[in-house]
């Protein structure tokens, strides 16, 4: 297991964060109200965000974007009674 606090690891994480910011800036040109959620940089390089459905294909065409996955809303079960 690599040392995630090593200088090498911190450099790699910084590169990933910069790459994510670059993509987010490109998305903001399409959708200025972009708000991001979670950021992933350990096992995968990605982030979550909400964008209008009508710009999904434009986001997919950004060269640095490997995929866009649409999440589904899930309703929590009613836990009134157990």
pLDDT at 1: 46
Q: Classify residue 42 as exposed, middle or buried by CB count within 10 Å of its CB (0-12, 13-18, 19+).
A: exposed
pTM of the model: 0.79
Q: Which residue carries 């009674």 as its tokens?
A: 81
pLDDT at 82: 59
User: How far apart (Å, rounded) are the C-alpha atoms in residues 80 and 64?
Assistant: 45
Q: Which residue carries 């040392």 as its tokens?
A: 3
Question: pLDDT of the chain along its 82 residues, tens only?
Answer: 468 788 998 999 999 999 999 999 999 999 999 999 999 988 889 999 999 999 999 999 999 999 999 887 777 777 777 5
Q: What is the CB-side half-sphere exposure of residue 14 using CA atoms within 13 A?
A: 7
Instruction: Name residue 8's beta-bridge partners.
Output: none
């Amino acid at each position: 297991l690599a040392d995630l606090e090593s200088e090498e690891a911190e450099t790699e994480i910084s590169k990933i964060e910069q790459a994510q910011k670059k993509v987010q800036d490109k998305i903001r040109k399409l959708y200025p109200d972009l708000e991001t959620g979670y950021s992933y940089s350990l096992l995968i390089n990605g982030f979550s965000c909400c964008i209008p459905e009508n710009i999904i294909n434009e986001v997919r065409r950004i060269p640095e974007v490997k995929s866009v996955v649409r999440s589904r809303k899930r309703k929590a079960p009613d836990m009134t009674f157990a």
